A and B are shown apart, each in its own frame.
Chain A
Amino acid sequence: MAAALGRPRIGVLALQGDVIEHVQMLRAVGADPTLVRLPRELHDLDGIVLPGGESTTMGKLMRRYELLTPLRALIRDGLATYGTCAGMILLADRVLRSADDQPTIGGMDLTVERNSFGSQVESFETDLNIEEMPGGPFRAVFIRAPRIQAAGPRVDILARLADNTPVAARQGSLLVSAFHPELTSDDRMHRLFLDVCKDNRGRLEQRLLAAQA
């Protein structure tokens, strides 16, 4: 584990999208962010963020540069992961309205519909109540956003729109939101993710110690 007592080292998938926005927010909440474009950059991470952007572009570049297999293995082994918008699509086990031959990572028991609200003129902001999050409503920005159409029994839904559409969820160490906290100044989702990373690190270390004993 990297920096066992120091700041958690969080990768940001940097093939395309709003990478810097996540980097800045991660830094602000006390993480040590690092960019991931190639498989060798996946080492010693306490967590990884899959940013907003075009899921088709990121999927194709992940396949071309052989990131899909190592990422799937890391996520299966418990790497804490936060996907925003396109990142949520990449983490979902089932994607509706995907492009032909669109590679994804998977790992979360979700059915997600891409670009589910319509074209850019339908993009919107709204106040959301996020489960167990102190500090009042969260100003959430949705851009050509995906929608969670179905979630398996291991998935906790963390937030819903007024019409009940689920837009944020957690499954163990995997966190997703259809909206973009990184476009606002509200860092509570990133703090939540950092807590997931830290819990996870503690658990993995215990497992390692148990294995050694």
Chain B
Amino acid sequence: MLERGTWTAKRGLAQMLKGGVIMDVVTPEHARIAEEAGAVAVMALERVPADIRAAGGVARMSDPGLVESIQRSVTIPVMAKARIGHFVEAQVLQAIGIDYIDESEVLTPADETHHIDKSKFTVPFVCGARDLGEALRRIGEGAAMIRIKGEAGSGNIVEAVRHMRQVTNGIRKLQSLLPEQLMAEAKELAAPLELVKEVHETGALPVVNFAAGGVATPADAALMMQLGADGVFVGSGVFKSSDPARRAKAIVEATTHYDNPEIIAEASKDLGDAMRGLEIAAIPEAELLAARGW
């Protein structure tokens, strides 16, 4: 009897990706550059977040044909994004055998009230979060992996740092509480009590937590790792830079050796220009991606 889509199998793939870098790619050629650089997975997209931001309009799931062409071009896992709440996009991605679905704020939300009921799917989901409560709500819906939201397409690490610290602080606070305080804290966090109890006991999220949204340099990646991320998503940071192959390789090395400044220094040399990046205050409030979803 082979049992598919179990919680252990869903969560397990994220555990296999730990210590690694997942890169946004828009063509099979990009995907091969990412694999060659040592990425543990790729995220197949029509446009990287910086271009989605620039293009405006409604951003949707990528053309399944494009996603399939990327699946054929590499041997590492391939992820793709569905709009928040758009469970049919998720069904389509599962039907073409995607390895992980990112229910992502980078795309225009399809439902302002409900996220996808992820527990119904065989394919695992990763979801964005800004703090512990949001992470536990998504896990409660069946997300098998969390990523910090950061601010996608900004090339600015400040939001990812803020969100990572918020999650960590939330966990520390939970650990310091007495058992009788957990229900009140669950109410405060708007998170399922069972998960609140679990984090109180273990001092960790029940699933893997990657950093995302603003990683542009090897040092950015190592910063997020030292802040406690299990791994790193790089969206626009690689292919919006002047030498993607080299930068991709350097970010992979800095993620593995995140606590070794000599190696990060070596990896950071002569990479050419990083993506330009945006001051968060210069982004109009309506265009902040992290605010999508709840």
Bound complex: CA A14 to CA B19 (Å) = 8
Chain A residues near B32: list those with CB within 8 A.
Answer: 100
Picked from A56, A61, A64, A125, the residue with its CB within 8 Å of the CB of B3 is A125
Q: Is B99 an interface residue (CB 8 A)?
A: yes
Q: Is the CB of B99 within 8 A of A16?
A: no
Chain A residues near B123: list those with CB within 8 A.
Answer: 120-121
Query: Which residue of chain A is the closest to B79 with respect to CB atoms?
Result: A120
Q: Is the CB of B252 within 8 A of A61?
A: yes
Q: Is the CB of B8 within 8 A of A184?
A: yes
Bound complex: CA A142 to CA B9 (Å) = 7
Q: Is B169 an interface residue (CB 8 A)?
A: no
Chain A residues near B19: list those with CB within 8 A.
Answer: 14-17, 19, 53
Q: Is A115 an interface residue (CB 8 A)?
A: yes
Q: Is the CB of A19 within 8 A of B18?
A: yes
Q: Is the CB of A123 within 8 A of B4?
A: yes
Bitwise, B250-269 to A at CB < 8 A (1) or not (0) is 00110011001000000000
Q: Is B5 an interface residue (CB 8 A)?
A: yes
Chain A residues near B12: list those with CB within 8 A.
Answer: 18, 123, 141, 143, 180, 183
- Complex interface residues of chain A between 83 and 102 (CB less than 8 A to chain B): 85-86, 97-101
Picked from A54, A64, A85, A125, the residue with its CB within 8 Å of the CB of B8 is A125
- Complex interface residues of chain B between 172 and 193 (CB less than 8 A to chain A): none
Q: Which of B34-42, B130-138, B213-221 contacts A (4 or more CB under 8 A)?
A: B34-42
Q: Is the CB of B257 within 8 A of A54?
A: no
Bitwise, B239-255 to A at CB < 8 A (1) or not (0) is 00000000000001100
Q: Is A66 an interface residue (CB 8 A)?
A: no
Q: Is the CB of B77 within 8 A of A144?
A: yes
Q: Is the CB of B13 within 8 A of A183?
A: no
Interface size for chain B: under 10, 10 to 19, 20 to 34, or 35 or more residues? 35 or more
Bound complex: CA A19 to CA B252 (Å) = 17
Chain A residues near B122: list those with CB within 8 A.
Answer: 121
Q: Is the CB of B20 within 8 A of A86?
A: no
Bound complex: CA A187 to CA B41 (Å) = 29
* Secondary structure of the A contact surface, majority rule: loop
Picked from A16, A120, A125, the residue with its CB within 8 Å of the CB of B124 is A120
Q: Is the CB of A119 within 8 A of B256?
A: no
Interface centre among A19, A53, A120, A127 (most CB of B within 10 A): A120
Q: Is A52 an interface residue (CB 8 A)?
A: yes
Bitwise, A112-128 to B at CB < 8 A (1) or not (0) is 00110011111111110
Q: Is the CB of A98 within 8 A of B75?
A: yes
Q: Is the CB of B40 within 8 A of A53?
A: yes
- Complex interface residues of chain B between 1 and 33 (CB less than 8 A to chain A): 1-6, 8-9, 12-13, 15-20, 32
Chain B residues near A17: list those with CB within 8 A.
Answer: 16, 18-20
Q: Is the CB of A124 within 8 A of B76?
A: no
Known contacts A56-B76, A120-B100; A18 and B15 CB within 8 A of each other: yes
Q: List 15 A-B contacts (CB under 8 A).
A: A57-B76, A60-B38, A61-B38, A86-B16, A100-B36, A119-B77, A121-B94, A121-B97, A123-B12, A124-B9, A125-B6, A126-B1, A126-B3, A161-B2, A183-B15
Besides A57-B20, A86-B16, A99-B76, 20 new A-B residue pairs in contact (Cβ under 8 A), listed by A number: A16-B19, A17-B18, A18-B18, A19-B19, A37-B257, A37-B260, A53-B18, A54-B17, A54-B40, A56-B76, A57-B76, A119-B77, A119-B97, A119-B98, A119-B99, A120-B98, A123-B9, A123-B12, A141-B12, A183-B8
Q: Which B residues are closer than 8 A to A by beta carbons?
A: 1-6, 8-9, 12-13, 15-20, 32, 35-41, 71, 74-78, 94, 97-100, 122-124, 252-253, 256-257, 260
Q: Which A residues are closer than 8 A to B by beta carbons?
A: 14-21, 37, 52-54, 56-57, 60-61, 64, 85-86, 97-101, 114-115, 118-127, 141-144, 161, 180, 183-184
